[in-house]
Amino acid sequence: MAQSYDEMDAIALLKADHRLIEDLFDQFEKAKGKAEQKRLAERLVLELEVHTILEEEILYPACRGEIPDSKLDEGYVEHDATKVLMNDIKAGGPEEHFYATKVHVLSEILEHHFEEEEAPSKGIFTLARKAGVDLKDLGDQMRARRETATAELKAHPQRPSETRTFHGDDTDSALVDAPFEAPDAREGVEAR
């Protein structure tokens, strides 16, 4: 019997995201007309931005010190490569010559990234589970953060995704060693 959304741990949630994103790429490839391509690309970018936030703010920090840093570092750099393409897709439209090609290349990068994260013996997900990271608690954090991240991104649809590992970035944000903690809403601070 399949788990409900509320029962999923962090890994199950992220794998479900991977399958949704793959499905959206398939739909984009089959889209008829520029309006449908635009709608699907916007949904795809939103889902990817939220997914990236969940991994970078919750999973990766919880894994720092528990699994090899090289795995997490590679995840951050791959995310940043996708953010560059996502930002370009977000700023453009299907009438542009390279638009569909950018979406296709983004799908190829993410196919590789998803395979690495889900690799049965050496992927981040497997290593996190083997290290005893509290994936149930992280799943609860992810459900809460998904809501705030989605609301933030929908409120500012043209805001570009920020990279963390490229030249000139504050790379310390990708080297944190503690899980993300949402600010207390009563303090009037917006969540990241």
pLDDT in tens, 107-154: 999 999 999 999 999 999 999 999 999 999 999 999 999 999 999 999
Residue 88 pLDDT greater than 70, yes or no: yes
Helix 69-91 with 99-118: angle, nearest 10 deg: 160
Distance CA(54)–CA(46), nearest Å, equals 13
48-57, 77-86, 176-185: least confident range:
176-185
Q: Answer yes or no: are the C-beta atoms of 74 and 174 closer than 8 Å.
A: no
What is the per-residue pLDDT for 107? 97
**Single pTM value for the model:** 0.88
**Euclidean distance between the first and final Cα of the chain, in Å?**
35
Q: What mean pLDDT comes out for the span 85-90?
A: 96
E strands, 27-114, in order: none
Distance CA(192)–CA(182), nearest Å, equals 8
Distance CA(43)–CA(55), nearest Å, equals 18
Q: Answer yes or no: are the C-beta atoms of 14 and 146 closer than 8 Å.
A: no
Please, which pLDDT band fits residue 41 given cuts at 50, 70 and 90? very high
Residues 6+ apart with CB under 8 A from 138: 9, 10, 58, 59, 62, 179
CA atoms within 13 A on the CB side of 124: 28
Q: Tokens 């919880």 label which residue? A: 62
Q: Tokens 């569909």 label which residue? A: 100
In this structure, how many other beta carbons lie within 10 angstroms of the beta carbon of residue 181?
Answer: 12
Residues 6+ apart with CB under 8 A from 106: 25, 82, 85, 86, 89
Q: Is 24 helix (H, G, I), strand (E, B) or coil?
A: helix
3-state helix, strand, coil split of the chain in percent (to 5) is 70, 0, 30
